[in-house]
Homo-oligomer: A and B are copies of this chain.
Amino acid sequence: MSNTHTLDALIQALRRLPGVGAKSAARMAFHLLQHDRAGAQVLSQALAQAAEQVQHCARCHTFTEAPVCATCLDPERDATRLCVVETPADQSALERTGAFRGLYFVLMGRLSPLDGVGPRDIGVQELLRRATDGVVQEVILATNFTSEGETTAHVVGEALRARGLRVTRLARGVPVGSELEYVDLGTIAHALADRR
């Protein structure tokens, strides 16, 4: 894009962001330098601070600045129910429903043998230890309904059941507000089978 080393270095660095190619990176660099230098400074500091301070909760593995996250420390939450999710974003989606008051275990990923992500990478051993603390009675598998999420739920679920835990999975069915005509057939078939 340019004959300045500093600018080229910025464009290269922006390309490390997921989903950002050469042209997007150049457009971002141009925008920040031409219209939002303050934004560049703010982002620079936020990145340095997060990379230095954000760690993993010792109990649930989610991102936190403390050794144990605020959710795990909250005495009002129901410690008998443990919900397993793939990412903090999924955890946040569940929290926003207000329908779950138990605790979480965040895998920080999903099983994906093709990408070299195995049970060790998503902390399955830690989950088994966490779930067999004698307090947890039910583990709710809330991994995504993608093939990788389903595989993860299957593997994790088997291991938990083998240790005598009650394991449930989020219900599959027709999304709220949708018309049957536009819902995919696999979803309708599941909704039929799981009718109540």
Using CB atoms and an 8 Å cutoff, list the residues of chain A in contact with chain B: 1-7, 9-10, 12-14, 16-19, 23-24, 26-34, 36-37, 39-51, 53-54, 62-65, 69-71, 87-89, 92, 108-109
- Secondary structure dominating the interface of A: helix
Partner of A4, one of B27, B29, B31, B64: B64
Partner of A63, one of B27, B33, B87: B33
Set of chain B residues within 8 Å of A18, measured between Cβ atoms: 27-28, 31
Partner of A30, one of B37, B47, B88: B88
- Pairwise interchain contact A69-B3, C-beta atoms closer than 8 A: yes
Cα separation A89 to B41 with both chains bound (whole Å): 23
Decide yes or no: A36 and B16 within 8 Å by CB, A3-B71, A48-B44 being known contacts. Answer: yes
Set of chain B residues within 8 Å of A44, measured between Cβ atoms: 43-45, 47-48, 51
- Pairwise interchain contact A50-B6, C-beta atoms closer than 8 A: yes
- Pairwise interchain contact B71-A4, C-beta atoms closer than 8 A: no
9 pairs of A and B residues whose beta carbons are closest in the complex? A44-B47, A13-B46, A16-B39, A40-B51, A13-B43, A44-B48, A10-B50, A10-B46, A18-B31
- Pairwise interchain contact B14-A43, C-beta atoms closer than 8 A: yes
Closest to A48 in B: B44
- Pairwise interchain contact A13-B39, C-beta atoms closer than 8 A: yes
Set of chain B residues within 8 Å of A89, measured between Cβ atoms: 1, 23, 26-27, 30
- Pairwise interchain contact B37-A51, C-beta atoms closer than 8 A: yes
- Pairwise interchain contact A9-B46, C-beta atoms closer than 8 A: yes
Cα separation A12 to B39 with both chains bound (whole Å): 10
- Pairwise interchain contact A50-B9, C-beta atoms closer than 8 A: yes
